[in-house]
């Protein structure tokens, strides 16, 4: 079945540094990938839609300069949290959609900014 690999699974970084999270579709081509953020005991919140070869579409309230998304190939999308602050600490998850198969999710990345 469709597999989406996301890494790292956990990362701790210092305030002010940048962190890159990768999301790869392993056995299918994902023209569209989605990035979500999840706060404790809350729903998944869509941050942006990443389209291969074009700029990402950000949801209202999500800073595009803060959360840089790159989708350079049909199998890889990256989310870079720039100049991270403690309030960026959260759980980030990617997913890819595939016609007739619905959504496949990555395993998530727990980001802690200290």
Residues near other proteins (CB under 8 A): 34, 38, 41-44, 46, 91, 93, 95, 101-108, 110
Between residues 78 and 95, which has the closer beta carbon with respect to other proteins?
95
State in angstroms the smallest separation of the CB of 55 from other proteins: 17
What is the token pair recorded at 85?
């602050």
CA 27/CA 71 separation, integer angstroms = 17
State in angstroms the smallest separation of the CB of 70 from other proteins: 22
Contact indicator for 24, 95 with CB cutoff of 8 Å: no
Between residues 14 and 43, which has the closer beta carbon with respect to other proteins?
43
Contact indicator for 83, 64 with CB cutoff of 8 Å: no
Give the helix/strand (H/E) hosting 93.
strand 90-98
State in angstroms the smallest separation of the CB of 104 from other proteins: 6
């Amino acid at each position: 079945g469709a597999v989406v690999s996301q890494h790292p699974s956990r990362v701790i970084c210092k305030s002010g540094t940048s962190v890159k999270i990768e999301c790869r579709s392993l056995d299918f081509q994902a023209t569209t990938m989605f990035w979500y953020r999840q706060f404790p005991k809350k729903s998944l919140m869509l941050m942006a839609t990443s389209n291969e070869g074009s700029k990402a579409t950000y949801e209202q309230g999500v800073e595009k300069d803060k959360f840089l998304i790159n989708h350079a190939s049909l199998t890889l999308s990256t989310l870079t949290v720039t100049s991270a602050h403690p309030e960026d600490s959260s759980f980030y998850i990617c997913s890819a959609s595939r016609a007739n198969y619905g959504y496949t999710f990555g395993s998530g990345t727990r980001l802690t900014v200290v």
